[in-house]
Amino acid sequence: MTVRRDFQEPARCRPDLVIGREELSTAARDQLRRGGSVLLHGPAGIGKSTVLRSLAAEYGESARTVLRCSATESESHLPFLALADLLGLALGEVSDQLPAAQRTALESALTGRGESTLQRDGLALRLAVLSALRALAAKGPVLVVADDLQWLDPASAELLGFAARRLGDTPVQMLFAVRTEGQEYDRHLRASPPDTVAVRLGPLTRAQVSALLDHRGYTGLPRSTVRDIHRTSGGNPLFALELGRALAENPTPPRPGEPLPVPTSLRALVLNRLEMLSYEARRTLLVASAGARPTVALLHAAGRENAEAETAQAAELGLLATEPEGPAVRFAHPLISAALYAEAPAQDRRAAHAALSTAASDPIERARHLALATTGTDPDVAARLAEAATLARDRGAPSVAASMGLLAARHTPADSTPGPDERRLQAAEDAITSGEVDLARDIAHDVLGRATVPADRVRAWMVVIEAAGQALGDVDAVFPQALADAGDDPRLLALVHYQLAWRGLVVEGDFAEGREQAAHAAELAARAGDRRTELLALAFQAQTETLMGHPDAPATIKRALKEPQDPQVACHHNGAGSTRFRWLIMSDQLAEARNTVTALLREVRRRGMVESEVHFLRLLAETELRSGHCGRALDLARESLRLARDSGIGRVASALLTSLAEASGGDVDRALALAREAVEHAEEDGDQMYISRTLAALGHAQLVAGDPEGTVRSLRRVRELEHALGITDPARGRWHGDLAEALVRIGEIGEAQDVINVTREHALRLERESVLAVLDRAEALVRAARGEHDAAIAQLTSVQDRLAKLGYGLEEARAAFALASLRTASRPGPTSYDEAARLFRRCRALPWLRQVEAAAAAAPAKAVPAPDPALDALDGLAAMERQVAALVMEGATNREIAGRLFISVKTVEATLTRVYRKLGIRSRVDIVRLTAGRHPK
């Protein structure tokens, strides 16, 4: 008999497991697949039951018998209840196989028709449970599933533990979930087999919370709100969903600077101990919940004289976390603070803010509290808030500046100068800078609903366009309205024509149109004295000319770099600094390109410019990839992609670059998945510029994956798209060599030579030395396919040397690999792949290294030596340790490493000490020896 599986969830609920639990569920699956048992543990609401149900549904299919129980606190005092849930339905199947004494004791315990107790029938009961499980397992595998193990009645827990410890090789697996607040799960392992793996479920990331909310139907929430939900919930899925539901049901969003509304269900959950506090202690905690970084000293300054004793009382009740080091007053969970604030009457909240408006030491914090303590408009309060927004902007906190700006607008009288809408628009522009595009778009539409001043309307339209990102086709109807509002004002027209330049490039796919619109915008801005817009337009013009291979590109770059400069534009991802970087990397000046983008990245991080940070992380990753530092490139690309997904900015571009990095130094399957995702999104956005770039990344990943037919399909389309776009500089995408190589592999020799000839003509005109070298590498493969082996080998030898001198480490290694392969094909006998393996290992190009090893194994020669075990140990290092070790391998000094990774020299030294200890080596020299695959001495 198979026990009914009544624990399966409807299919619509199962996707919750996928959200944020992939690695944890993989560990649990691996253990269950091996025949072992699993204990899931974590705090209330963290998603244990969801994971348990999904795993049970998945692995219950392979079990003959599934035994299940789900305990509750209210029933935990009833002896043998959990045992009855587990074995009640199976008793009839096994009872005749039990000795009489065991059968009598078990039936009595399960049915309640006798007086069976652990004290009187302990041994018989214990042996009966063990015998019952063995009898069931004799007919097929058994899976025991128990949720909320902490509420198991003590008798059932004792019996289950006794059996679990004695099952041995019997095919009985156990899958349990238990609520724990810390790591104290050990005592629950007593009910599990000895080899049980404990898997702790931790909080979700912000991106995972966003995905969970979307999955449950709470879509359309601004990213700033999702950020607040993540912070308030502490990443707890249950708390996040309840907060999302409360926001969806509440038509009035919280004021800027206020905590989120907390639903009654969560208030009761986290504030049940609040009634044990005195009235004054509750007032003190309310002041702490209103403060951004409360300390005992701040509470004293806010008039809470007995703050020490009252916070100590709250800590004893578990409302506050104890802080043995430091003066901070920290709530045990962020939700407690939000619930306390939500529970308090409005007048008490205003009183708390009023006290903090004079007690806080930071001027931004004082202004925030003053705003939240004030009702109605007040020009003095508005002015204070506007000053605070300016200060936050200068500090590199545009998100805070946006919040302060909205508060300033709320308190600004309608007839003031500047008016409330002007302050709202400044807040929207700050929100764009901080990556909160949803908030910016909402503010702009709010202003457009009532504004009549042309300057305000055009400014709001610009925010709407900026918030669209690459999906400019979605806001196509905005441009005629913006032009109508701009009238004949050259300053306003310059703004609109600058955005029309982007539309020409992204939507129309017309570089010539984009260049003309940018030049017109620069002219209008210069006439109006708007240097900021002029610089942006000139940078755009220079970028399009660079990609088109236009001869005016160097002169336009010089114009864009001419003084006076706008500090924000100078480091903007669409500014002249970014354009200059693109020129440098396309001109093979890798060292200067790296210095340029590193300085830009440092500056935008200081200013809090999130979109620019995503962009420059990606460009730095691209530089490292070109230089052959694949491990470093992969770390940077993944960081860029995480930030892009978290902020919703630049996801397509970051995905395609991460695909290239994965194909070179990571996982090829992941590279293919990312490239396909990027192609899909670019096509959905109608982004003509990025469709070709994403297809180029897909083609490269297909080549590395050994799919030349797929590579040819993808890259032929890239060739067509770039021809239509008017892109002639082959250094833009660098896909031409891959296409020629793939064409050779599928036997299209003539087409491969045509690709090389056409591309070489442009590369010679623009002096793209690295492109020419890669084309020569592809041409050597064409010659080899035609039987010209000696000429091909000579050409490849030259190519490898040229690429090495240019600093293109990965391309150099690919040339060495091709050279070794040709020598094997033309001269049967021992052939060494050692040089290619060494170069790929130096680059940390693991997918390519696996290809070399496979080729060496197949060749009639000695196999490539296995990688040094100490070198493989790098994979066990933490991310920062791996980055530092990789830079040491490149010969960077500690100071250079510190500058590249934005850390201190002391941090570099401490990290190296940990690396030495983990690798069992003593010095930097030993790390360099690892690069060459030699054992340290």
Checking if the pLDDT of 934 tops 50, the result is no
Q: How confident is the model at residue 11 (pLDDT cuts 50, 70, 90)?
A: very low
Q: What's the average model confidence in pLDDT over 384-398?
A: 94
Residue in this structure with the two tokens 């156990």, named with its chain if needed: 174
Instruction: Give the tokens for residue 862.
Output: 């000695």
pLDDT at 79: 82
pLDDT at 25: 73
Q: Average pLDDT over the chain, rounded to whole?
A: 86
Buried b (16+ CB within 10 A) or exposed e, 565-595: bbebbbbbbbbbbbbbbbbbbbbbbbeebbb
**Pairing outcome for strands 320-321 and 330-331:** antiparallel
Q: Could you report the per-residue pLDDT of 602-643, keeping only the tens digit for each?
A: 999 999 998 899 999 999 999 999 999 999 999 999 999 988
Q: How confident is the model at residue 121 (pLDDT cuts 50, 70, 90)?
A: low
Up-side HSE of residue 887: CA atoms within 13 Å toward CB? 22
pLDDT at 863: 42
**CA–CA separation, 581 and 54 (whole Å):** 49
- Which residues neighbour 680 within 8 Å (Cβ) at sequence distance 6 or greater? none
pLDDT at 900: 67
Checking if the pLDDT of 866 tops 80, the result is no
Q: Is residue 418 reached through a cis peptide bond, with omega within 30 degrees of 0 on the bond before it?
A: yes
Q: How confident is the model at residue 1 (pLDDT cuts 50, 70, 90)?
A: very low
Q: Could you report the per-residue pLDDT of 22-59, keeping only the tens digit for each?
A: 777 778 888 888 888 899 988 888 888 888 888 888 88
Checking if the pLDDT of 665 tops 90, the result is yes
- Among 384, 360, 381, which residue's Cα sits nearest to residue 299? 360
**CA–CA separation, 393 and 757 (whole Å):** 52
pLDDT at 873: 54
Which residues partner with 321 through β-bridges? 330
Residue 882 near residue 901, CB atoms below 8 Å: no
Instruction: Give the tokens for residue 195.
Output: 């080899």
Query: pTM score, two decimals?
Result: 0.72
Name all contacts of 507-510 with Cβ < 8 Å and 24+ positions apart: 507/472, 507/473, 507/476, 507/686, 507/688, 508/688, 509/688, 509/689, 509/721, 509/724, 509/725, 510/725, 510/726
Q: Could you report the per-residue pLDDT of 592-604, keeping only the tens digit for each?
A: 999 999 999 999 9
Q: How confident is the model at residue 257 (pLDDT cuts 50, 70, 90)?
A: low
Q: What's the average model confidence in pLDDT over 520-539?
A: 96
Q: How confident is the model at residue 6 (pLDDT cuts 50, 70, 90)?
A: very low
**CA–CA separation, 641 and 903 (whole Å):** 21
- Among 351, 221, 247, which residue's Cα sits nearest to residue 289? 351
Q: Could you report the per-residue pLDDT of 544-567, keeping only the tens digit for each?
A: 988 888 889 889 989 998 999 999
Q: How confident is the model at residue 17 (pLDDT cuts 50, 70, 90)?
A: very low
pLDDT at 677: 93
Q: Could you report the per-residue pLDDT of 404-439, keeping only the tens digit for each?
A: 999 999 999 999 999 999 999 999 999 999 888 888
Q: What's the average model confidence in pLDDT over 451-466?
A: 95
- Which residues neighbour 842 within 8 Å (Cβ) at sequence distance 6 or greater? 628, 809, 813, 889, 931, 932
Q: How confident is the model at residue 293 (pLDDT cuts 50, 70, 90)?
A: confident
